[in-house]
């Protein structure tokens, strides 16, 4: 038992990774492959479903080729973590993708969501699913595809349409089963949060064919085994989790009130609320964290910032201020302050708390003295200030302050970001030596389901392993409040900025400037 290894499949927005963990929770090996996003129109973000699979397959091949035969034989279980809400549609009989995958960041369904709100559907959806009506979630992406892609509509009419978030798509390709888990299903706007079942009446009201939905299983379950001819053939798949829920587990946020923020493509604050569904009237989401093998849920409260790492990528690819993303901390450190410059990272709209798909990014406070260092620092501070709003709302909903915020994800390597986070919230920020909490979290769950780990606390000691760092707040309350007021003033200017009438064949946009908060 001590020699067992756990395979983690971690399919993200811009890359696919595969990793192995031992029974102590230490990473043994990891390989990855890039994945391209396409931006065919303003606010649109899509991927090729086949490219998603090929990227993940490449990572698995690389990993299997990098380890010894003894290690290969020791792989006892597999878990799948994935970018959430991204919508894949394929034909049941052949497995052929029927349309591009619409990525979670995509805002093309804003008009459809407005239509649903006008029909009076939002309150019922909020109460049943814990979510808001927004293009972020999968349901509107499915309905849009049914309307816009004849092949999707034809497959639905023939009873041959399969819908899945990326976990379902990977599972289909790995073992031929059409299934998902409750953590991913809770992000579709189609699952009853209390009953942990598909809400057939809601699906019918929205126009989603229920027969296209995957089988709904606990997060810990026997999902199948990797098929012959694929890397790691025969390894049982025993866990599936959305990436943010997996990171919450990987950060050992196992007690009520413990929370983490993952700074990846976006930034996501997730706080454990235990067996209680914590409701919020301020734009936070109620969601399933994970379910055990018996289907018993742990719920979470979540705040979502759609652009974090993408803002750093913009500095690299758009402005060419840095050559590599990991250079942002050094550039930002070249100045002592941002000089009053603020970056609002609403490149693809705004999530919590405004839920405004028409918001756009804003760089404000520029002077003749502003240079690359100030812009880089403003970018890191903009991410931190946006997350600080999420923390403040979560503390109000919980009725108690956070004692600590765990941080992970690629952008969390930037010391200035995490120091700004501590300063903007007044909450200490803890960073582990290993930032890959997502893959570790789903590997942990897979090992527990396989009976090779004693429980979810098995790897908790890793939180204080050598190399961890803690960032303490340095600002006083008055300084923090003044900074926050300036930030909210900048955010106000970004809201409702651009209403797009874009289609793939018509790239014109209508820009409307409005005032007031969403």
Task: Provide Rg for the chain, Cα atoms.
Answer: 22
Residue of 242, 252, 259, 255 whose CA lies nearest to 434: 252
Split at pLDDT 50, 70, 90, the class of 247 is very high
Does the residue 283 lie in any domain? Answer: no
Same domain, 181 and 143: yes
230 shares a domain with 117: yes
Per the domain annotation, does 413 fall within a domain? yes
Domain with 112, as residue range(s), is: 5-251+432-464
Question: pLDDT (tens digit, 9 = 90+) per residue, 134-170?
Answer: 999 999 999 999 999 999 999 999 999 999 999 999 9
* Cβ burial, residue 86 (10 Å; 0-12/13-18/19+): buried
- Here the CATH number for the domain that contains residue 314 is 3.30.420.40
Provide the b/e sequence for 282-309 (b: ≥16 CB within 10 Å): ebbbbbbbbbbbeeebbbbbbbbbbbbb
Q: Is the pLDDT of residue 511 over 50?
A: no
How much is the pLDDT for 357? 87
The number of beta carbons lying within 10 Å of the beta carbon of residue 401 is: 14
Tell me, yes or no, whether 31 and 124 share the same domain: yes
Tens digit of pLDDT for each residue in 30-70? 999 999 999 999 889 999 999 999 999 999 999 999 999 99
pLDDT above 70 for 506: no
At 477 the pLDDT is 93
- Mean pLDDT in residue range 350-366: 92
Band of residue 288 on the pLDDT scale cut at 50, 70, 90: very high
CA-to-CA distance for 102 and 91, rounded, in angstroms?
A: 16
Per-residue confidence (pLDDT) for residue 340, from 0 to 100: 93
Same domain, 191 and 100: yes
Q: Please indicate, yes or no, whether residues 77 and 147 belong to a single structural domain of this protein.
A: yes
pLDDT of residue 43: 84
- Does residue 353 have a cis peptide bond before it, meaning omega lies within 30 degrees of 0? yes
Residue 460: the pLDDT is: 85
CA distances from 169 to 6, 83, 241 (A): 21, 11, 13
* 454 within domain boundaries: yes
Examine residue 271 and state whether it is found in any structural domain, yes or no. Answer: no
For the chain, the first-to-last Cα distance in angstroms comes to: 54
Does 55 lie in the same domain as 18?
yes
64 and 151 both lie in a single domain: yes
1 pLDDT above the threshold of 60: no
Q: Does the pLDDT value for residue 290 go beyond 70?
A: yes
Would you say residue 513 has pLDDT above 70? Answer: no
């Amino acid at each position: 038992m001590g020699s067992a290894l756990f395979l983690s499949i971690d399919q993200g927005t811009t890359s696919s990774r595969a990793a192995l963990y031992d029974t102590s929770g230490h990473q043994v090996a990891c390989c990855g492959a890039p994945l391209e996003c396409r931006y065919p129109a303003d606010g649109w973000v899509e991927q090729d479903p086949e490219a998603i699979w090929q990227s993940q397959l490449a990572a698995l091949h690389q990993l299997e080729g990098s380890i010894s035969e003894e290690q290969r034989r020791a792989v006892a279980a597999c878990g799948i973590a994935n970018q959430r809400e991204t919508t894949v549609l394929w034909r049941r009989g052949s497995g052929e993708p029927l349309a591009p995958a619409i990525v979670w960041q995509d805002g093309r369904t804003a008009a459809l969501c407005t239509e649903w709100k006008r029909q009076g559907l939002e309150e019922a959806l909020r109460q049943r699913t814990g979510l808001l009506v927004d293009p972020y979630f999968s349901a509107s992406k499915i309905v849009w595809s049914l309307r816009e892609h004849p092949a999707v509509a034809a497959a639905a009419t023939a009873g041959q349409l399969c819908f899945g978030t990326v976990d379902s798509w990977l599972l289909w390709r790995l073992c031929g089963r059409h299934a998902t888990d409750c953590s991913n299903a809770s992000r579709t706007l189609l699952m009853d949060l209390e009953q942990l079942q598909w809400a057939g009446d809601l699906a019918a009201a929205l126009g989603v064919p229920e027969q296209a939905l995957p089988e709904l299983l606990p997060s810990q379950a026997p999902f199948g085994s990797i098929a012959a001819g694929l890397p790691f053939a025969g390894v049982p798949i025993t866990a599936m989790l959305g990436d943010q829920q997996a990171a919450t587990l990987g950060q050992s946020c196992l007690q009520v009130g413990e929370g983490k923020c993952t700074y990846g493509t976006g930034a996501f604050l997730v706080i454990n609320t235990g067996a209680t569904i914590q409701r919020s009237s301020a734009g936070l989401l109620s969601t399933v964290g994970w379910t055990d093998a018996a289907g018993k849920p742990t719920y979470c409260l979540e705040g979502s910032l759609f652009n974090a790492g993408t803002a750093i990528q913009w500095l690299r690819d758009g402005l060419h201020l840095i050559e590599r993303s990991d250079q942002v901390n050094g550039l930002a450190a070249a100045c002592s302050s941002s000089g009053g410059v603020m970056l609002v990272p609403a490149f693809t709209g705004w999530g919590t708390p405004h839920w405004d798909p028409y918001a756009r990014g804003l760089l404000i406070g520029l002077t003749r003295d502003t240079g690359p260092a100030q812009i880089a620092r403003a970018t890191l501070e903009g991410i931190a200030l946006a997350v600080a709003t999420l923390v403040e709302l979560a503390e109000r909903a919980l009725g108690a302050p956070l004692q600590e915020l765990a941080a992970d994800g690629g952008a969390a390597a930037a010391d200035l970001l995490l120091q700004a986070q501590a300063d903007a919230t007044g909450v200490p920020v803890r960073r582990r030596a290993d930032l890959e909490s997502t893959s570790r979290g789903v590997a942990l769950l897979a090992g527990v389901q396989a009976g090779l780990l004693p429980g979810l606390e098995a790897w908790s000691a890793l939180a204080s392993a050598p190399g961890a760092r803690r960032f303490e707040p340095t600002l006083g309350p008055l300084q923090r409040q003044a900074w926050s007021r300036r930030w909210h003033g900048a955010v106000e200017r970004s809201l409702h900025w651009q209403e797009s009438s874009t289609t793939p064949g018509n790239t014109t946009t209508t820009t409307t400037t409005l005032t007031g908060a969403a």
